[in-house]
């Protein structure tokens, strides 16, 4: 136990959880080294609403453009990051295509069920 006093430990844990819920990086070493300033990246200042795969593609496009324009990273880091982001993009595109196909199938099934229900209701009204 890092703290002998239980109240101090409780206070530390409470503050740690509060910061974690707020999205503040709780690791001291990262903030001392200056690699994380606690400020959000300018890329993600505007909130994104993610509902479909195409929303992820928009975010991914912004991220890829940001990496391409970043002068603070080496060409090797840029290549690795872009390769990783592109592989994610391929999966998102596949998912997006699958979403469209599923929505089309759902619409066909919905229309089919509606026409079957009309047909059944028509039979019942005729007394068949």
* 3-state helix/strand/coil string of 19-85: HHHHCCCCCHHHHHHCCCCCCCCHHHCCCCCCCCHHHHHHHHHHHHHHHHHCCCCCHHHHHHHHHHH
Could you give the CA distance from residue 19 to residue 2 in angstroms, rounded to a whole number?
19
Q: Which residue has the higher pLDDT, 16 or 110?
A: 110
Cβ-based neighbours of 99, under 8 Å, separated by 6 or more: 52, 53
Could you give the CA distance from residue 92 to residue 64 in angstroms, rounded to a whole number?
14
Q: Are residues 47 and 30 in the same domain?
A: no
Q: Are residues 25 and 52 in the same domain?
A: no
Q: Are residues 64 and 115 in the same domain?
A: yes
pLDDT at 64: 92
Cβ-based neighbours of 92, under 8 Å, separated by 6 or more: 53, 56, 57, 60
What's the number of domains the chain is made of? 2
Whole-structure pTM value: 0.48
Q: Are residues 81 and 25 in the same domain?
A: no
pLDDT at 9: 83
Contact 37, 30 (CB under 8 A): no
State the residue range of the domain holding 83.
Answer: 42-126
Which helix (H) or strand (E) element contains residue 38?
none
Question: Given pLDDT bands bounded at 50, 70 and 90, which one contains residue 30?
Answer: very low
- For residues 93-118, give the mean pLDDT: 87
- For residues 27-52, give the mean pLDDT: 53
Q: Are residues 49 and 12 in the same domain?
A: no
Q: Are residues 57 and 33 in the same domain?
A: no
Could you give the CA distance from residue 125 to residue 107 in angstroms, rounded to a whole number?
27
Name the average pLDDT for the chain. Answer: 78
Q: Which residue has the higher pLDDT, 29 or 105?
A: 105
Q: Residue 97 pLDDT > 80, yes or no?
A: yes
């Amino acid at each position: 136990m890092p703290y002998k006093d239980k109240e101090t430990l409780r206070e530390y844990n409470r503050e740690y959880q509060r910061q974690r819920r707020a999205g503040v990086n709780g690791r001291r070493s990262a903030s001392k080294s200056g690699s994380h300033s606690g400020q959000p990246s300018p890329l993600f200042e505007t909130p994104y609403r993610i509902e479909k795969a195409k929303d992820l593609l928009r975010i991914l496009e912004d991220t890829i453009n940001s990496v391409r324009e970043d002068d603070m990273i080496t060409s090797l880091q840029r290549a690795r990051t872009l390769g990783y982001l592109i592989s994610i993009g391929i999966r998102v595109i596949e998912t997006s295509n699958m979403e469209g196909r599923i929505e089309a199938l759902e619409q066909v099934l919905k229309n089919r069920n509606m026409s079957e229900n009309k047909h059944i209701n028509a039979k019942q009204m005729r007394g068949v």
